[in-house]
Structure 1
Amino acid sequence: MNTHQPIDHTGMPLAAPSGNNVDVIIVGLGPTGATAANLLGQRGISTLIVERDDTIYPRQRAIASDEDAHRVWQGLGLLEGMLKTMSSDIRVHFKHGKRTFVSMQGNESRDQGVPGTAFYHQPELERILREGIRRFPTVQVMGGVEAVALTQDANSATVTLRPVEGGPDQTVTGRYVIACDGGSSSIRKLVGIGLPGRHIEEQWFDIQLRAWYDLPPEAPLDFTFISDPKRPGVDCPCPMGYHRVEFRVNKGETVEQLQTEAGLRGLLAERGIDYDKVEIFRSWGYTFHIRQAERWRDGRVFLAGDAAHIMPPFAGQGVSSGVRDVANLCWKLDAALSSAGGSDLLESYEPERRPNVEQLTKFSLGIGGIVMLGSTLASNMRDAAFMTAAKIPLLGDWLTGIGLKPLYRLGTTGGFFTRTPVRRSLRGDFIKQPWVSVANHTPVRLDTVLGNGWTWVGFPESPIPERLAAAGVAEIKLDYASSIADHKVPAGRYVDTERILERQMRRSRVHGLLVRPDRFIFGGDRELTSADIERVASAVVPNLPLTAQAS
């Protein structure tokens, strides 16, 4: 296939791919690409990842992930290991001078069964994701090459790769390509997709320190927005001995000046940090972009993560948004590769994901607006408004909890869901993830038994429709907690002891839900039509055994 020896994420030589044809080519091995590789590997899909760098980028660019990403990583069998080096007890503060005008808890997850927020050291996160790829013999990684050309036809796409350090070009062909190669994506440019939006001229400056305190993973982490018109910024203790401080670059200042010893001393002094008592690991300047690709697909090429959308950093949603993208896309690629009806699913990728990205972009801009008010008068009025609101019953709970963050629902216009929704339909919502009890009294998280395919989750009055069962849809049989005497759970059944699923279904007056492989609800029992059932049956890929998820 080539003369350039593939390199895996640790710099160890890999055996050359056995041929120049794979099912999926992933370009880019950041968190989005590495998550996609794990998702495809879990499904046994032949995958080649190409990455310009041979080693993990050492700078801590992103620091946060949320419940949506955590639930994906949980399904990959990686979250438990990640949490050992993450901080997941997060408190977020907005501070002006000595006044903290609002504080929020970051561990709520809207009953998804995983931490609502976690902070990490990005190189360590990427290491765990890349180690996860090793489990899957169908996935191979090639480092030290960049994509320089792409052609495609009705059946495949061919990417031309050029060794970064010189050497002959080589080609690899895949049925599909996922561009996870960041905001300057070469793949996006090669297929001619524009990235309209705007550039925020205001410049910011980051300093990454070796921390001067001990912060074990189980310790609470206090993330602070410095909401001062004189110099807004961020202060964030991080896991693994790091601390990150961010500052707006004020008029008359330059990044070059701030990176001198005098500049660094002055900035750190503003936060009460003694330059002589810390180790400065890295510092850099950056500006913000707000952009979305004109379209997220070109034939057999799909954009994901920053290649498809770039949002301001205030809400910490960059990595999680990329994970959401590939979690939505990869099971659909599996269906397109494996079933006659699966190709129609691919049309739903962008319509389902784009609305959430647009919401989160507005949310992030809103947080930035709170932090970066330009006058002392406006800042004092903001402080008073938030402090008053936090004291009002219900409103205060909403404000200091997860209420401000948009609920992750998929776009249903153009999405793959039932076409006849009832009032208060749950289509496009996550199925919640409670603890469920089984026959041996051991509680397990719902996703442990959901597997990675289509699943019918229903109470006794709503068994799985025969056509879905025949197509290979799995079934989870629920019993009501109130109907189980002496906590004896019948074999083959599960009890929602917290009644979380019971309450979720009651909202829509249904007793059974058809759940997609990505944990989103296709529809409830009282809204499914025979046409809906046939659409799903034609796109079903049989569930892999649960042991294959983490083998």
Structure 2
Amino acid sequence: MTTTRITDSSDNTTDVDVVIVGLGPTGATAANLLGQRGIRTAVIERDLTVFPRQRAIASDEDAHRVWQGLGLFDEMLTTMSTDVRIHLKHGNRTFLSMTSTDSFDQGVPGMAFYHQPELERVLREGIARFSTVSILSGVEAVALTQDSESATLTLRPVDGGPDRQITSKFVIAADGGSSSVRKMLGIALPGKHIQEQWFDIQLRAWYDLPVGAPLDFTFISDPERPGVDCPCPMGYHRVEFRVNKGETVEQLQTEDGLRGLLAERGIDYDKVEVFRSWGYTFHIRQAETWSRGRVFLAGDAAHIMPPFAGQGVSSGVRDAANLCWKIDAVLTAGADPDLLRSYEAERRPNVVALTRFSLGIGRMVMLRNNSAASVRDGLVAGAAKVPGVSPWLRGMGLKPRYTLGTKGGYFGGTERRRSPRGSFVKQPWVVGSDLTPILLDTILGNNWTWVGFPSSPIPPMLADAGVGEVKLHSASDLATHSVPSGHYVDSEGVLEKQMRKARANAFLVRPDRFIFASDREMTEEDYRRVTDVVVSGVRSVRCRLGDSA
């Protein structure tokens, strides 16, 4: 695929507006987000086809809401399982079971398990909807230069051939933990390398799960051999084991080694098909900075998490969602590029919190002492029976909820008690004039939106700038079943409760569904700042889902 050189309106010669390096879940999500917004984008990918190994198996509500906004989640669901139970087991005793259905009112499943190649297939097919996005496969980035106007990557075909260059205004490096772009920038990736080796087996059973049956993800919390056991959709099964002293990956990959390991989990080697097996060690690392000049790191290129909480893919999707609307604002609305500095400030605190959470799970699973493990089992099982604690513990209340860092972030007002700034606006089903329930994000689009009750209509300055408005009512506001055109009823009171907690009657919602500020916090300066980054409502409508122009 060749690149056509284009001259933009500012007379800066660039091939595209954005280059994405890497076409894994993070890069593919970013490509869809930019394509949806009409941004000229090129994706650089070394491999010619989807990587066949099942590296990730899970995603959560934060990623699902992004994929929903891209119009891809319904197709993803056809090969996903969202009915997931999580167990911690020691010997024959399960000392804790949790459900993953709660999405904290985000309107999507709280967790899904999948076969990663299928997930990537849907994301790549989604990119094909947008004529502004091209994929350059079979090439790798080998050099990078940048100045105050653009960044230029040198690309080299992996199968031989002459180098070529591509120039863009911004680069998103989504090329994984060993990111070549990060290394070119000289950005360090400090952290820890865990020496303990683990061994994974990806297999497929010669039987299907009963229709509608939940998937049971089990942490094997046994000091003798900790691990993970996870049936996956489409008949796939993923089993993980710690490599014990005296064992080697090479020995475990023999037929005898595989038979023995699978037998430990009660799996008959002769009744499954082993696709792949591999050894690995895991890392806990975060880049010293997530950007340099016009280049931004995302996903594993910026942060590598321990595997125990299954947050790798979702964290990369969070990165892409946070970054892409800001790039859109700079390119399309002429926003100050300083807006992009808020990317790391907003995202890093969540990565830190999830890393700690994942490490906590790992420590609980990988206890090496049988006496300590017995004490753990009793304490956790006892806590799960305590009224008030049990629903929180069994409903995955341990996981940190996704909020953005507000220090250095792009938000209005000032920090105050009960401020909703940096939190997701919740996504209920709302009812419009046709009395058909729809999810809130369906009407939010990709632009800034004022979501408010009648007592707090959109300020004229925001309306004049192109900020959208969702005119909200509670079920008690309307005496009849007639809903005025352009108005919506929050029949279950989800948003009403969120606003009441914030002592507000309206939220100004950013394109990534996070609350900029409530009506009680907004100042005249905030109104001015927002008008400088709002993308034209006309363009936002033109580039809605499925429009490739």
Same fold (TM over 0.5): yes
Counterpart Cα distance in 1 of 2:278 and 2:159: 26
1:548 aligns with 2:544: yes
Counterparts of 1:130-209 in structure 2 under 5 Å? 130-209=124-203
> What is the CA RMSD across the aligned residues, in angstroms?
1.2
> 1:332: which partner in 2?
326
Q: Give the drift of 1:217.
A: 7.0
Counterpart Cα distance in 2 of 1:192 and 1:212: 48
Counterpart Cα distance in 1 of 2:453 and 2:160: 61
Counterpart Cα distance in 2 of 1:547 and 1:151: 31
2:410 match: secondary structure? coil
1:361 is aligned, of 341, 352, 355, to 355
1:56 is aligned, of 50, 59, 64, to 50
Counterpart Cα distance in 2 of 1:225 and 1:339: 48
Counterpart Cα distance in 2 of 1:416 and 1:448: 24
> 1:452: which partner in 2?
446
2:69 is aligned, of 60, 72, 75, to 75
Counterpart Cα distance in 1 of 2:395 and 2:80: 21
1:150 match: secondary structure? strand
1:281 aligns with 2:275: yes
1:432 aligns with 2:404: no
Q: In the alignment, residue 58 of structure 2 is paired with which amino acid? A: A
1:415 aligns with 2:414: no
Counterpart Cα distance in 2 of 1:131 and 1:549: 14
TM (norm. structure 1) is 0.96
Counterpart Cα distance in 2 of 1:208 and 1:412: 41
Q: In the alignment, residue 138 of structure 2 is paired with which amino acid? A: G
Q: Which runs of 5+ in 1 are unaligned?
A: 1-5, 7-14
1:116 aligns with 2:142: no
Q: In the alignment, residue 193 of structure 1 is paired with which amino acid? A: I
> 1:45: which partner in 2?
39
1:91 aligns with 2:85: yes
Q: In the alignment, residue 513 of structure 2 is paired with which amino acid? A: R
> 1:225: which partner in 2?
219
Q: In the alignment, residue 30 of structure 1 is paired with which amino acid? A: G
Q: In the alignment, residue 450 of structure 2 is paired with which amino acid? A: W
Deviations along 1:116-154, one digit per CA (max 9) or x if unpaired, are 000000000000000000000000000111111000000
1:178 match: secondary structure? strand
1:403 aligns with 2:403: no
Counterpart Cα distance in 1 of 2:544 and 2:335: 24
Q: Give the drift of 1:18.
A: 5.6
Counterpart Cα distance in 1 of 2:296 and 2:226: 37
Q: Give the drift of 1:216.
A: 6.2
Q: Which runs of 5+ in 2 are unaligned?
A: 7-13
Q: Give the drift of 1:21.
A: 1.1
> Could you say if the C-alpha distance between residues 385 and 69 of structure 1 is closer, same or farther in structure 2, counting changes exceeding 3 Å?
same
Deviations along 1:215-244, one digit per CA (max 9) or x if unpaired, are 367431110000000000000000112101
Residues 471 and 486, structure 2, Cα contact 8 Å, conserved in 1:
yes
Q: In the alignment, residue 274 of structure 1 is paired with which amino acid? A: D
Counterparts of 1:357-396 in structure 2 under 5 Å? 357-396=351-390
> 1:523: which partner in 2?
517
> 2:527: which partner in 1?
533
Counterpart Cα distance in 2 of 1:16 and 1:27: 15
Q: In the alignment, residue 59 of structure 1 is paired with which amino acid? A: R
Deviations along 1:164-197, one digit per CA (max 9) or x if unpaired, are 0111100000000000000000000001101011
Q: Give the drift of 1:274.
A: 1.1
Counterpart Cα distance in 2 of 1:17 and 1:25: 14
Residues 86 and 217, structure 1, Cα contact 8 Å, conserved in 2:
no
Counterpart Cα distance in 2 of 1:93 and 1:402: 11
TM (norm. structure 2) is 0.96
Deviations along 1:289-317, one digit per CA (max 9) or x if unpaired, are 00000000100000000000000000000
Counterpart Cα distance in 2 of 1:340 and 1:288: 41
Counterparts of 1:257-268 in structure 2 under 5 Å? 257-268=251-262
Residues 36 and 543, structure 2, Cα contact 8 Å, conserved in 1:
no
> 1:9: which partner in 2?
none
